[in-house]
Each structure stands twice: as C-alpha cells, then as structure tokens.
Structure 1
Amino acid sequence: MTRSKSGPPGNSGGISGAIAGDLEPCGTCGRSVAPRALFCHACGAAQPPRPLDPFTRLGLERRFDIDLEQLSKQHAGFTRVMDPERFAARGPRQQANAKAQVEALREAYEVLRDPIRRAHALLALLGGAPAAGDEDGDEEIDDLATRLTRADDVLELDRIGLDLNQRVEACIRYLAPAFRKAQTAAGPDSPSAFDGAARILARLERLEALAAEVRDRRAARTTPRT
C-alpha cells in the first residue's frame, strides 16, 4: 500500500488517497508516483491517467450504495484541481495530461452516478457475472410489456410509466443489500455469491428498457408536428 497526495500543485495538504499498486516514475522529475495520483506531489507535474476502476479514480469505497453527494463533491474537487488552465505555464504535454485526467474523471463520474452502469462496474470488479439470458419469465414485466404494446393514449402510457418507475426504484433499493450480502459471502468457495445482485440488475435493465420505450412513445405523441 502506498500513499500519494493528490492536491493542487504547490499545495502539500491537498486531497490525499491510498491505493495498492505499482509506483511509476514521474515523467518530469523521476520521483515515484502512486497509481491514483493526479500529479506528482514532488514537482507538481500533471500525470497521465492510469487504468483505474471508477470507484478508485474518485476515491470512493467499492459499494453500490455510494453517497451521491459525496460523488459529486469528489468529481467537482478533482476536476477543479486538474483544470488544464492551471497547467498552462508548464507546457502542452502537461496540459494534455490534465485534460486527459479531467476526461477520465468525467467518465468515472458518469459510470457511478448511473445505477445500472455502477452495478455492472461493481459486479465486474468483484468477480461476479451478469445473469444469463434476458430474465424472461418475470410475469410482472411481461404484463407491463403487454400493456405497453396495447397502450393507445397518453394517459395509459403515463400509468405504465408510473408503474415502471416504482419498480425501477425498488430494484435500485434492493441492489444495495444484495451487493452487501454478496460482498460478505464472496470467496473462492462461493462463486454464486453475486447471483442475487446479478438477477436484480437484469430485472432493472428490462424495466429501464420498457421505461425508455414509454418515454419515446409519449414524446412522439406530444411533440407538435411541423
């Protein structure tokens, strides 16, 4: 385990973080830099982003029920630190590194703020696998899909959309304890520990697909013709 301070250039009391991994030399001063470091804490040079999972990149614990306010604060803080304009005097290479860091931070933020993408990222990190197939046989979802096929007015689309949104929110609530249970039980002798979370995720994806169809059909009915 190595520690790296990742605060603004010239500020030794910046954002700190710790992560296991191989140190690499700074391309400017040659001092060792930790994997999650945004820049070298010795010379302040912006570092190119290394391959990291989105939780590690934003300094968050690997769990589904992350604090979304903390997520936003972490992203905003790191992004301010790596504003390419702050590295303008250091030359184009460091500006490019800062820009790449900002883009990597943005991508990590986009993954973690979306429940489905966050669940997929966590499942992959923890060694779980997506549920096989498309989870056909869920009668509730099949009934909603049938209702949607037959819906012929905006009011019915709204009712279906409300039903779908309630079930989507329930799935998101159920994912947090499912992942906690799996993370507690996971080990070499429990390869199916993540099956519950994977099944809920598959259900959530089907519900979200139907909800998107409702939104598209409703928009098509309410958009004025030109």
Structure 2
Amino acid sequence: MTRSKSGPPGNSSGGISGAIAGDLEPCGTCGRSVAPRALFCHACGAAQPPRPLDPFTRLGLERRFDIDLEQLTKQHAGFTRAMDPDRFAARGPRQQANAKAQVEALREAYDVLRDPIRRAHALLTLLGGTPAVDDADGNGDEEIADLATRLSRAEDALELDRIGADLSQRVEACIKYLTPAFRKAQTASGPESPPASDGAARILARLERLEALAADVRDRRAALTPPRP
C-alpha cells in the first residue's frame, strides 16, 4: 500500500500520514509517485499542485456532517502554514505558484466545511444525492410560510427581532437534525441507499429557506438602525 505524507519536507511528524485513495501521479520535480492529497512530494519535498478533491479529503477530515470545527480550524491553519509560498522562494516561481494554489484550495475547502449549508451540499454530493426541490403540496412549508407572512407585515424592530429569534431556533434545529439524517444515509446499503439521502436533502432545503428569511430579517433590521455619527 502506498503511503504519502502531507506535511512539510524533513518533518516526519508533520501533516497527516496514511493511505490515500486515488490514482498516484508523478511529482513534477523528481518523477516519484505522489498521492492525490499530498501537499509535498515525500521523496524530494517539492510543493505539489492541488488535485481535484472533496473538501473533507483535502483537509484530512472524516466525511461526516458533524465535523469537529476546532479540528477543522487546526487542520486548515497547519496546512496553510506549511504551504506558505515564502517557504518556497528559493525553489523558484513554479513551486511558489503550486504553494499559492494549495493555500487557495485549502481556504476554499475550509470555507465550505465551516458553513453548515455548504458542508451539507458537499456531503450530499459525495453520497450521490440531489438537492430537494419545493414540493408541490407544500408539505412541511406551513411554518415557513407563516414566518414569511409575519416578516412581510413586520413594521418595527421589535417584531423583526422576534422573527429573527424564531428563525434562529429553527435554523439550529435543522442543523441538529442533519447529523442523524446524514448518518442514516451513510450507513444505508444496497438498493435502498440512494433514497436514504432524501431525508437529509429535505432538511437541507428547509434550512436554506430559513436562512434566506433570516438574511432578509438582518437586512431589514439593518435598514432600521440609524447610522453612527
């Protein structure tokens, strides 16, 4: 089994070591085989260009919705420090460009995973699921419709704050329910597997509608706040 370190050259404890799924590719500097997730070539230490990876794999995290956000931050910070383009100044512009591209790819993965909606979309895609669409019968939307009506009639900051608080509670509930929904989808097997992600997709769709209303509340609330002198 091929093993590759994603830590900096000369540091055997840096990064994450382990088997990486996917096709090996040759290092552009020494030609030795490099795993898709490797930041460095384990043979010569050359910075590798980022390969197409899902955000969980890029940051060395388990594919699950309830990720450890503290660990996410540590992974991102550690990998980003290791790929500081200034470290590669003596290696020439090509490796500096690779390091910069790695930093950008790590940042994009971090931004996806720290946002519950984007993280859920990423995981749903990995499970082969598809985003839910509003169903024609409006099942499950009555509560959201009521909140939208309240928002359309709100005329003062106090009512907007009440609506905002209600939305916040429902957003937190959706995020909480996504964890078991994704676990169910990930543990399903056989011909029932594809529909198993439907529950998570429906909760995600509801979460997005709630977030859209919350954003509207924030915008309207900001419009009622007098500018600072």
Fold-level similarity (TM above 0.5): yes
Maintained 8 Å contact 1:6/1:17: no
Contact kept? 2:185, 2:193, Cα under 8 Å? no
Give the C-alpha shift of residue 225 in structure 1: 8.4
How many residues matched?
Answer: 226
Are the counterparts in 1 of residues 25 and 34 from structure 2 also a CA contact under 8 Å? yes
Deviation at 1:93, TM superposition (A): 0.5
Write the letter of the residue equivalent to 1:82: M
| TM-score normalised by L of structure 1 | 0.96
Separation in 2, partners of 1:133, 1:88: 52
| C-alpha distance 225-81 of structure 1, shift in aligned 2 (>3 A) | closer
Match in the other structure for 1:11: 11
Give the equivalent residue in structure 2 for 1:168.
Answer: 171
CA contact (8 A) 1:134 1:202 kept: no
Residue in 1 that maps onto 2:214:
211
2:161 is the counterpart of 1:158: yes
CA RMSD of aligned residues (A): 1.5
| Unaligned segments of structure 2, at least 5 residues | none
Q: What is residue 149 of structure 2 aligned with on the other side? A: 146
- For the residue of structure 1 that corresponds to 2:151, the secondary structure is helix
Report whether the alignment pairs 1:50 with 2:51.
Answer: yes
Instruction: Report deviation, 1:4.
Output: 0.7
- Show the 5 A alignment for 1:40-189: 40-133=41-134, 136-137=138-139, 138-189=141-192
For 1:18, the aligned partner's letter is A
- TM-aligned CA distance change 1:196 to 1:57, over 3 Å: same
Instruction: Encode CA deviations 1:135-187: one digit per residue, 9 max, x unaligned.
Output: 84411100000000000000000000000000000000000001001111143
Give a deviation string over 1:10-31, Cα, whole Å, max 9, x none.
2233212432111111000111
Structure 1: where are the runs of 5+ without partners? none
Using the alignment, how far apart are the partners of 1:31 and 1:2 within structure 2? 12
So what's the TM-score if we normalise by structure 2? 0.95
SS of residue in 1 equivalent to 2:87: helix
Runs of 4+ aligned structure 1 residues displaced above 6 Å come to none
**What fraction of aligned residue pairs are identical, expressed as a percent?**
87
Deviations 1:206-226 (A, max 9, x none): 000000000000001104288
